[in-house]
Amino acid sequence: MAFATSRSLRRAPENGARCTARARRRNGHPLLGLGLIAPSFVILVLVAVAPIAYAVYLSFTNYSILGGGRFTGVDNYERIAGDPSFWAALRNTLVFTLVTVPTQTALALLIAAVLARVFRPAFRRIVQSALFLPAIVAAVTAGTIWRVMLATDGGTVNELLTALGLPDVDWLGQTTTAGLSVCIVIVWKNVGYFLVIYQAAVLSVPEEQYEAASLDGAGGWRSFRHITLPALRPVTFLVLVLGTIWSFQTFDLVYTLTGGGPGTATSTLVYLVYTTGLEQLDMGYASAIAFVLLLVILCFAVIQRRIVSGGER
Amino acid sequence: MRPRAMSRAILAVPLLAVAAITLLPLWAMIATALQDTTSVRLSVGWEDVDLGNVIELFTRFGFGPALLTSIVVTLLACLMNIVVCSLAAYGFSIHRFRGSETLFWAYLATMMIPTQVTIIPLLLIMRELHLTGTYFSLAVPAVGAFGVFLIRQFSASLPYEVFEAARLDGAGPLQTFRHIYLPLVRPALGSLTIFTFISVWNDFLWPLVSLSDNTLQTVTLAAAMLPGRFTTDFGLVMAGAAVSMGVPVLAYLALQKQFLRGIAVTGSQR
């Protein structure tokens, strides 16, 4: 959404030109404008501005619901630097992002391109509807369903492995496979959503471009590389940014799928904020972790924005 | 076979396989929920169907009131979002004032901050205001800058002459809002409603955190809190999952076009 913002704002002057400043002065009531915006302003202060300011303050205290609240300077941040559970959560969050974002983007793009270029609308709709369904399922419920699917005693995946004559796997009980399981569920849940975005974009590429390419003897793969891929570039960036932001917010599905375990193998930053602040009630320290998470997200947003504006030039 | 039909047939197989794998967990959920079982089932015959799990959800685990809470909170959130955001978008696009553009930028900046980051201070503030455990407190975090942004961007493509003409016809600014602005931005309101509906219904962290000390619960929370994390009562757990996602899935099946268009719009809105 961060990315969505910059372009639409650039479109704004176009609109400004149509309705001249004079027309606006005649029609607009600045005082009324203030009144119209007031309700949303009050709510935004309540749910976003005040909490963020409060979070910054809390992160410099040892506040807990049980007491405390003494100003402790940068103690919390120093504690973060030496806290192995923080580094584990950060590492897991980054690994999940680096595994799931490219995978789900590539899958969604590939399926969208094949569906749009090769198949009739009816078939397209069937596949798209099936793949989109998980996007409607709550992440926490997705975690529950997959915990059952991956269970060692009676879980579907292991029963299928047995049927194929393969050994059982303790999916959620081992470090590597637990992480892999989290990634699988994230991809399962997101592919359909991004497929819908890609599908609309692929279908809006002018047909003539493909016709010209096939007259030049280009096959499916070449026209994908030279026409589809470049045309979808802006959408791809949107998909990457959204995927990254969502991945950094991973909490719900980990809560029900693995509970962050085994050990800290699948703990994420938001999961750590939750356990630290709301189970151990160490709210000052949790706020500091949350603030570091925000900084990580902002860094990624800036880097991606850079790449985007570089790519468009 | 012509080459196009050939490639279609060859490509259809993996695509259908992917679709089937995607649906497998959801199918397993339904088949397991309908049987009295401790292992996951993939088949269910009419004679095996046992609604015991579903009945237990409603009699022992409070799914009735939880469903009601989810419905009320979701409706409230959609309503608040539509009213508050369309008013603000109308102000930002038609009745500008000194600094309104800067303020709009500030609105956009708040969209960057995920709720997960501010959840603890939000909880403390809501407690201080004695709002925790109310429908309002469950709904209000869904109201934010996104709706204002969505509607304002949509209305940027409207011809300004319409508003000029309304003024010349003697319509007051609030009449213009009701009879001209709102009808024109209806598609954006539709998308906003769908996004709000899904995100509030599926929200887990905020209900988990803010409802910890009383009996109110949403259905998504209730399903996640079913015993079974360390047991194998798979039938009950899967029934909870199925019931909690029932309303959004039915809404999606009924309004498929609107859902897909709403999402595709975010893709082309840049």
Whether residue B116 is predicted with pLDDT greater than 90 in this model: the reply is no
How close does chain A come to B134, measured CA to CA in Å? 15
Share of chain A above pLDDT 90, in %: 53
Neighbours of B161 (CB within 10 A): 11
Q: Which amino acid is at B182?
A: L
Whether residue A24 is predicted with pLDDT greater than 80 in this model: the reply is no
Kindly report, residue by residue over B204-217, the tens digit of the pLDDT. Answer: 999 999 997 667 99
Comparing B37 with A282, the larger pLDDT belongs to: A282
Tell me which residues of chain A, numbers 285 to 304, contact chain B at a CB-CB cutoff of 8 Å.
286-287, 290-291, 293-294, 297-298, 301
pLDDT of residue A21: 57
Q: Say if A71 is an interface residue toward chain B (CB within 8 Å).
A: no
Whether residue A284 is predicted with pLDDT greater than 60 in this model: the reply is yes
ipTM for the predicted complex comes to 0.90
Tokens of A78: 């120093």
Q: Is the dihedral of CA B13, B16, B20, B22 positive or negative?
A: positive
CA dihedral in degrees (A6, A7, A13, A19; nearest 10)?
Answer: -110
Q: Say if A162 is an interface residue toward chain B (CB within 8 Å).
A: no
How close does chain A come to B219, measured CA to CA in Å? 11
Q: Say if B199 is an interface residue toward chain A (CB within 8 Å).
A: no
Of A191-195, B78-82, B254-258, which range is least confident? B254-258
At residue A288 the predicted structure's pLDDT band, cuts being 50, 70 and 90, is: very high
In degrees and rounded to multiples of 5, residue B233 shows phi and psi of -80, 65
Neighbours of A179 (CB within 10 A): 17
User: Which pTM value belongs to this model?
Assistant: 0.89
Q: Say if A137 is an interface residue toward chain B (CB within 8 Å).
A: yes
Kindly report, residue by residue over B17-54, the tens digit of the pLDDT. Answer: 999 999 999 999 999 899 877 777 777 777 778 888 99
Kindly report, residue by residue over B156-174, the tens digit of the pLDDT. Answer: 888 878 888 888 888 888 8
Is the CB of residue B94 less than 8 Å from the CB of residue A261?
no
Kindly report, residue by residue over A164-205, the tens digit of the pLDDT. Answer: 999 889 999 999 999 999 999 999 999 999 999 999 889 888
**Is there a contact between B141 and A47 if contact means CB atoms under 8 Å apart?**
yes
- The alpha-helical segments, DSSP class H, found in chain B are 3-33, 52-60, 63-93, 100-111, 115-128, 135-139, 145-155, 161-168, 173-176, 182-184, 186-202, 205-210, 219-224, 234-254, 256-268
Kindly report, residue by residue over B223-249, the tens digit of the pLDDT. Answer: 999 876 666 688 899 999 999 999 999
Q: Is the dihedral of CA B168, B170, B173, B178 positive or negative?
A: negative
CA dihedral in degrees (B195, B199, B201, B207; nearest 10)?
Answer: -150
Kindly report, residue by residue over A53-91, the tens digit of the pLDDT. Answer: 999 999 999 888 777 778 888 899 999 999 999 999 999
C-alpha B159 chain-centroid distance: 31
Whether residue A3 is predicted with pLDDT greater than 70 in this model: the reply is no
Kindly report, residue by residue over B88-114, the tens digit of the pLDDT. Answer: 999 998 888 888 889 998 898 888 788
